Amino acid sequence: MSHLVLAVRDLHAGYGEEDILHGVCLEVKRGSIVALIGPNGSGKSTLLKTVYGLLPTRRGQVTLFDERGNSLPLTGLPPNRITALGLNMVPQLANVFPEMSVRENLEIGALPVRDRFPTQMEKVLASFPMIRTMLNKRAATLSGGQRQMLGVARALMSDPQLLILDEPSAGLAPAVMEEVFAKVRAINRSGVSILMVEQKARQCLAIADYGYILDQGRNRLEGPGEKLLVDPEVVRLYLGVRDGHRAKFGNQRGADGSPTGTGGEEPPA
């Protein structure tokens, strides 16, 4: 069995004529949670979109590894092919089909494993019991937290070995955020590796086995999550203060040279 599930090497990508990523590298070990943090405009969501085939790779390699250690190059593949190989993504926005029922959302998620739909459906519903009671509801009628859970459940219907999460707690109430983080841990314990970007950097690092910090589209720091949490440079530049009232990333600048803000990511393209 390969100890890696994903390797990203010297990745360059961007929008229009502008590069956002400048040679980013990262690895996800099988069975781990890997956190990706950094200031606004650092390229976090751009990296996730490029790995999942939503943005073209301009240079570099993205490789998925199956359980036997076989390498599966993802560079240049569309998202549906990448999903079929065992990697799925829950985007920050538009992660469900609002006009479809909850059941239909799950059915669409299961297209890569349609031959074992009943088994996979039961497996996912066992992990998300609240969704079982909502199968006939339109996704548009769900609360923000329920939609987020449905988005994750829909992605798990494809039975991925690696799940990418882009800011899963964005816009949610604190109590619901805790549910989301607990669900991420539970999914990981079930055997799914996770790569996640999260605006709540402290909470993300607290559950992560390993973390990477991006700055201006480049690798800045990396290490075990628990060590990054107490690293003085990480705390000073990226985690802000712990008074519950404010958080700041310091005088960081985005990939375009403009000052960055306090959370979130570069605007969607």
Question: Do the Cβ atoms of 11 and 24 come closer than 8 Å?
Answer: yes
At the topology level of CATH, where does 4-239 sit?
A: Rossmann fold (3.40.50)
- At 2, the pLDDT band (50, 70, 90 cuts) reads low
What is the per-residue pLDDT for 36? 96
Cα separation, 61 vs 9, in Å, equals 5
Question: Do the Cβ atoms of 168 and 90 come closer than 8 Å?
Answer: yes
What is the per-residue pLDDT for 260? 39
Entry field: residues in the chain: 269
For residue range 183-204, what is the model confidence (pLDDT) as tens digits? 999 999 999 999 999 888 899 9
Sign for the CA dihedral angle at 141, 147, 150, 154 comes to: positive
For residue range 4-37, what is the model confidence (pLDDT) as tens digits? 999 999 999 999 989 999 999 999 999 999 999 9
Q: Both tokens of residue 145?
A: 């937290």
pTM of the model: 0.86
| Residue closest to 211 by CA, chosen among 51, 12, 34, 2 | 34
For residue range 130-142, what is the model confidence (pLDDT) as tens digits? 899 999 999 999 9
Does residue 72 surpass a pLDDT of 50?
yes
More confident residue, 39 or 52: 52
Residues 6+ apart with CB under 8 A from 140: 98, 99
Does residue 255 surpass a pLDDT of 50?
no
